[in-house]
Amino acid sequence: MTEGAAVQHLRGRSWQEHAIRELGVEIEVVELAESLRAAVAAAQERQFR
């Protein structure tokens, strides 16, 4: 995921965090170049027309 706020509910003491931990899933937040971020945002706009 690219934004820490987007995964906040998956950390801490939520049932989602518990399920993710039990499944052995690791959450990693990565920084994207602005050009890639803009391309993703444009693609998402096209998808939600």
Read off the pTM. Answer: 0.52
Question: What does the pLDDT read at residue 49?
Answer: 65
State residue 27's pLDDT score.
Answer: 87
Q: What are phi and psi of 33, to 5 degrees?
A: -65, 150
Domain map (residue ranges) of the chain = 4-47
**Contact of 20 with 10, CB cutoff 8 Å:** yes
pLDDT per residue as tens digits for the range 9-39: 888 888 999 999 999 999 888 888 999 989 9
Query: pLDDT class for 1, splitting at 50, 70, 90?
Result: low
